[in-house]
Structure 1
Amino acid sequence: MDTAQRHDVVVIGGGPAGLNGAMMLARSLRSVVVVDSGSPRNAPAAAAHGLFARDGVAPAELLATGREEVRRYGGTLVDGEVVGARRTGDGFTVTLADGTTLDARRLLVTTGLVDVLPDVPGLAQGWGADVVHCPYCHGYEVRDRPIAVLGTAPGSAHQALLFRQLSADVVYVSHSTGPTTEQRERFDALGIAVVDGPVNEVVRSGGAITGLVTPSGVLAREVVAVAPRMEARAGFLAELGLVPAEHPSGMGQHLVADAMGRSTVEGVWVAGNITDLSAQVGAAAAAGAFAGAAINADLVEAGALAALREVARL
């Protein structure tokens, strides 16, 4: 592609938020480039759930459809990894790993986050299958099975209550975060047993979970629910002064933004999981649409002011 061209917007990240934002901008006749590294967060999952009219769709199929929709309206898609972004004049220059540079008037960053799982042997192998975190994304698929909830975060006790709605056989394993007295009382009332101490290993047979090794012995389980630490994919934004902050929930790090996705750096918008750690596919896509509309409105205002200045010079 012509790297000398200055685009209206470069969208960094081609997931639901980025593609929906790009489509909104392209439909507003903006020149848009989407750069995507091809490593979506939900790649391990077989299907996306809780998505209106597309429940159960394969994540790869959803993204392929979204990419085609962006192209339909004149948007461009580039496969690559952004390694840096800097301000140049009244816009930005984005640098890719292969040395390609792209110039833009505005940036929309939708690179999502990385799920950091506890360092427990056997845990990561089942991520997205029999190791889950979201009861709304995967809970129905593991309903009525023996579930262990690992205490790894402030919200783990609430996570146990959510999974108890889906199975009568839920055990809370304290791991690194034990329940409070009040939480234990709720667990007792709902029949959620508590195993104190860490999980030392997830035991598997034929690729499936059969149990957890704890100080009390092997706990027979088929599913593990765990709250990972979520960290924004934002290292390439450091030169712009955009640095992830701890999320108020204690779940991890995110980039701070307003309701329309405007970040703390003028001209940069963010959308999806990079700012909203709990956003599912539908919410991320909606946030991308809002951000795309906000960027277009910002460019419209900039164009009107430029036209006024030109008239004043005549």
Structure 2
Amino acid sequence: MTQKTHHDVIIIGAGAAGLSAGLVLARSRASVLLLDAGEPRNAPAAHMHGFLSRDGMVPTEFLAVGRCEATAAGATIQPATVRGIERRDDGGFDVTLTDGTVDIARTLLVATGLKDELPGIPGLSERWGALVHHCPYCHGYEVRDRSIGVIGGFAREISLKQAGLLRRYSDRVSFLTNGIELTATERRYLGAFGIRIIDGTVSRLSGEVDGPVAVSLSDGRSVEYEAVFIAPVPRPTDGLLRSLGCEADPRTGLIAVDATGQTSVFGVWAAGNVVTPSAQVITAAGAGSASAIAINGWLLQQDIAAASAGRQSA
């Protein structure tokens, strides 16, 4: 096991939130190490949207530019997966990687994002991020005026909201119930809004991977769409935060943070999808920046307290 040098901050996750925080902290002359497992949530997407000045940018290009900016300011980025974290006697943290290496930090920012849990519909995962989407704000504009199928997913309310939102982009929107039992009121609402309701269970997606998508139902019917939306279950990768004892919000089950991303554990922050599953790229980047500013202030307070204690004992 190799003991590496101390860092002011270790950021776990180098997506939008982690890189944004790393840039701000490095520019503040903090010693910053970013550890990244290389599994960004939006990797399957061809483009990202809604980010002012970056609309339509390829996600991998966005991350590459962010890495260059953060490292140019002095941050270190290392491809690695964290195995565990332990509190040190001096109040800092030992961060152990899967290869046994240990990095030391005064404070932590966890920006490990989330994973989308998709229904086990054959043909869905191969089209995820290309022809099958989940966010109307991210991809609705790009499929405007096209035929759109909304497949009922694990999250009932979100599925219905998807259908309503997408109706603003196209007058050819269908809602495939796929196990969701609609109330009479919901049927009236969807019908009045011009959304076609197709009752039945989806058994398969097929067709060329660049479209259109043929949605097959278990009763033998098949409907073709130019774009498909479904609501996956977001699973925050918050195991490290929970292992540290960070408290969860009893209402949402998500790790609780304040406006700056500070958790209930002293010296631990979290930002991005790991604590805010609905955050878009621009939102996650902003959260990372806010956490970085708070962390820099926290480091300053610790430095002043240590300097004052040393002066009094001299």
> Does the TM-score normalized on the shorter chain lie above 0.5?
yes
Change (3 A) 1:147 1:139: same
Distance 2:251 2:12 in 1: 22
The question of whether the paired residues in 2 share the 8 Å contact of 1:151 and 1:178 is answered with: no
The question of whether the paired residues in 1 share the 8 Å contact of 2:49 and 2:57 is answered with: yes
Give 3-state SS (helix, strand or coil) of 1:4's partner.
strand
In structure 1, what is the equivalent of residue 294 of structure 2?
294
Distance 1:13 1:38 in 2: 8
Distance 2:150 2:250 in 1: 24
Q: How far did 1:244 drift?
A: 6.5
In structure 2, what is the equivalent of residue 125 of structure 1?
126
Unpaired stretches in structure 2, ≥5 consecutive residues: none
Amino acid at match of 2:64: A
For residue 178 of structure 1, the aligned residue among 170, 178, 181 is: 181
Give 3-state SS (helix, strand or coil) of 1:258's partner.
coil
Write out per-residue CA displacement over residues 76-125 of structure 1, whole angstroms, 9 at most, x where no aligned residue: 11011112112112011111122211110100011100001111111111
| TM-score, normalised relative to structure 1 | 0.93
In structure 2, what is the equivalent of residue 137 of structure 1?
138
Give the alignment of 1:213-232 within 5 angstroms: 213-216=216-219, 217-232=221-236
In structure 1, what is the equivalent of residue 164 of structure 2?
161
- Asked if 1:272 is matched to 2:276, the reply is no
Q: How far did 1:3 drift?
A: 4.0
Give 3-state SS (helix, strand or coil) of 1:230's partner.
strand
- Asked if 1:233 is matched to 2:201, the reply is no
Write out per-residue CA displacement over residues 245-284 of structure 1, whole angstroms, 9 at most, x where no aligned residue: 6874xxxx64221111011222110001111111111111
Give the alignment of 1:1-314 within 5 angstroms: 3-89=3-89, 90-152=91-153, 153=155, 154-205=157-208, 208-216=211-219, 217-242=221-246, 248=252, 254-314=254-314
Change (3 A) 1:117 1:209: farther
Amino acid at match of 2:230: V
How many pairs does the alignment contain? Answer: 309
Distance 1:267 1:176 in 2: 45
RMSD: 1.8
Q: How far did 1:237 drift?
A: 3.9
Between 206-215 and 302-311, report the one with greater CA deviation.
206-215
Distance 2:180 2:11 in 1: 38
Unpaired stretches in structure 1, ≥5 consecutive residues: none
Query: Between the two proteins, what is the percent identity of the paired residues?
Result: 42
Distance 2:114 2:81 in 1: 14
